[in-house]
Amino acid sequence: MQGQVYLVGGAVRDALLGVKVYDRDWVVVGATPEAMLVAGFEQVGKDFPVFLHPKTKEEYALARTERKSGTGYHGFEVSASQEVTLEEDLIRRDLTINAMARDDAGKIIDPYGGQVDLQNRVLRHVSPAFSEDPLRVLRVARFAAKLAPFGFRLHADTAELMRQMAASGELDALTPERVWQEVVKALSTTQPSVFFAVLAEVGALRVLFPWLADLQGVEQPAKHHPEGDAWVHTLLVLDAAAELSDDIGVRFAALVHDLGKGVTPRELWPKHHGHEAAGLPLVEAFCASYRVPKKIEALALKVTQWHGVIHTGLDSDGKPYLKPKTYLKVIQSCGYFKQPEVLEQVLLACKADARGRTGFEQAAYPQAAFWLALAQAAGQVDNQEILAQGFKGAEIATAIERKRIELIEAFIEAYAVDNGV
C-alpha cells in the first residue's frame, strides 16, 4: 500500500499505560484516496478521507490538517494531501497523550511531549488550536474521568483555556446528540463524577447542564448528609451507582435524582420537602434538551419521584413504615407487574443514593430486598380465581387491587414477625 502507516491516538496511549487496547486507529502519510481504494480499502469519511481496512475493518485516515473556518466543531477546512506530515497531523489533536504515534517497527513518535505528560499524569492540550473545537471541553472532561484511576489531573493552562471556551459561547454550537454521546461515554467510566466535576471547574457545567449547576452550594441536613451540599452528594451517588451497576440508565438516574433540591427556596434550607416532585420537570427538561432515550428518561423520572418514599419503606428500626396502599402505588408506578426488572433498577439507584454520603459508602440497604420481596408477594394474584368470583369490567381491576393489598398486609405482618420488629 502507498504511504507510511502509523498507529495513533488512544491505542498508543493505552498501550503505554498498560491498559488493554480494544480499538486501534491508523494514520497513513503520503497516500491518496485513489491509492487506498485500489488497495481494497472502503471509504467512509465524508468530511475527510477515512477508510476501513478490507479485512480488520479498522479505520485508516489520511494524514490531514485542519483550519478553522466557521463556528462549532464542524467549522473546519480539511486538507489531506500527500504532503501533510505526521507531525502536522498530530498537532491538530486534543491532548499530548493522544498525539503520539507508533510505526511498524514499534518506535514511538512523540513530537509534543505526550510520554512525559503520561508519566506525570497530566492532561495538557497540544496547541492553541485546541480552542477551535468546543467538543474538546467535553472530551477532556471525559478523558479525566476515564483516566481518573491513574491519577491524571488537568494542566493549569488547559483548564484556563477550557474556561475561556466555556465563557465564549462556543459550546452553544454543540448538537444535543453529540453532547449526549459524550455523557454516555462519561457515564460508562468507573468514576463518572470526574467528568461533571471537571465541567464545573471550568465553568462549562452551568452552560451545558444548568440543572446540575443549581445544586452547587445547596445545603442539606447535616445529620443525614455529612458530605455537605447537594452537588457533592450527587457526585458521590453517581460514583456509588457506577460501583453497583453498569447500566447507563441507573447511573443517569443517580445523577439527576435530586435536581429538585436545586430549586428549593434558600430560606427553607437545609430541608427539601417535596424536592422529589419538584425535580420531575427538571429531569424532563434535561432529557428534552439532549434527546435522552425515552427508556432512560422514564427510569430517571421513577427514581426522582419515588426515592424518598422507597427509603422510608422501612423505618430506622427496620420496621415496615408505609401504608399498604402506598407500597402498592410505588410498585405499580414502577411497572413491576409487567416489567419487574425496572423496580430492580430503581432500587439500585436508591441504594446508590443511600450510599452516596460521607460515612455511608458501604452501608447496608435492607430496603432493596424488602421492596423486591414485597412486590413479589403482591404479584401472587390468581386472576382466574378473581374471574371465577363473577367480577366483570372495572370490578376485575378493583378486585385484583384489593387482593394485592391483602397480600401486602400479610407480607408485612410476616416480615415483622420474622425480623422481630
pLDDT number for residue 308: 97
123 DSSP β-pair partners:
154
**Could you tell me which residue, 21 or 292, shows the higher pLDDT?**
292
Sign of CA dihedral 78, 80, 83, 84: positive
Model pLDDT for residues 369-405, shown as the tens digit of each residue:
999 999 999 998 877 777 667 677 788 888 888 999 9
Round to whole Å and give the CA distance between 103 and 291: 41
Fold (CATH) for 1-113 = Beta Polymerase; domain 2 (3.30.460)
pLDDT number for residue 51: 94
pLDDT number for residue 48: 73
Round to whole Å and give the CA distance between 151 and 309: 38
Model pLDDT for residues 317-348, shown as the tens digit of each residue:
999 999 999 999 999 999 999 999 999 999 99
Residue 71 has pLDDT above 60, yes or no: no
Round to whole Å and give the CA distance between 290 and 296: 12
Round to whole Å and give the CA distance between 159 and 201: 8
CB hemisphere CA count around 118 (13 angstroms): 20
What average pLDDT score do residues 1-24 get? 91
Ordered by start, the domain boundaries in the chain are 1-113
Q: Per this entry, what is the length of the chain?
A: 421
Residue 47 has pLDDT above 90, yes or no: no
Vertex 238: Cα angle to 289 and 340 (nearest 5): 85
Round to whole Å and give the CA distance between 380 and 412: 15
Round to whole Å and give the CA distance between 94 and 109: 16
Q: To the nearest whole number, what is the mean pLDDT of the chain?
A: 93
Q: Which region among 54-63, 70-79, 355-364 has the lowest average model confidence (pLDDT)?
A: 70-79
Contact 233, 218 (CB under 8 A): no
Model pLDDT for residues 219-273, shown as the tens digit of each residue:
999 999 999 899 999 999 999 999 999 999 999 999 999 999 999 999 999 999 9
